[in-house]
Amino acid sequence: MQSLQERNPKRFDIVILIILAIALLIVGLTLPVLTVRKLWDSNTYSIITGVQNLWSEKYYALAVVIFVFSIIFPIAKLLSLSAVWFVRLKDEQRKGLVYLMDIFGKWSMLDVFVTAIMIVWVKLGALASAKAENGIYFFAGSVLLTMVISSLQGSLVKK
């Protein structure tokens, strides 16, 4: 029983991509992703503060959905990608993890989608404007990198 890294010792790219994806996720979760301006007020939200504000405003279902899909899923996926790469697993276990990541990976861009919908929705109103902030790009970059890593690992697992 070997880790995928032990089977592919010259593949430093995957380790670098995992580290980069983790860094982008941390920055993407903490930097502002959205600024909403009303006539007299302006609010800027990160994913984390957005979830906190939704919860405090009693939008519990939306807060839970954003929390699960924007915070828990990306962290779980990065932990799974790390486990697939570094941990000595049986081939069936590794294939099972890769399969689960493929299924859940399809939901990874939900937060970016929700932010885009919010921007369009707010722009349709006459009294407010919305602007995407840098955090959404870091977050999207992390999600895209996890998709690339998952694809690379999937092709190595199938060998």
CATH of the domain at 23: 1.20.140
The residue segments making up the domain with residue 30 are 4-158
Pick left, alpha or beta for residue 58 (phi over 0 → left; psi -120 to 50 → alpha; otherwise beta): left
Least confident of 30-39, 99-108, 112-121: 112-121
pLDDT computed for residue 62 by the predictor: 82
Q: Which residues are bridge partners to 38 per DSSP? A: 128
Share above pLDDT 70 across residues of the chain, in percent, rounded to a whole number: 87
pLDDT computed for residue 5 by the predictor: 93
Cβ atoms within 10 A of the Cβ of 29, count?
22
27-53: average pLDDT: 87
Domain count, the chain: 1
pLDDT computed for residue 97 by the predictor: 86
**φ, ψ for residue 19 (rounded to 5)?**
-60, -45
Share above pLDDT 90 across residues of the chain, in percent, rounded to a whole number: 37
pLDDT for residue 75 is more than 80: yes
pLDDT for residue 107 is more than 80: no
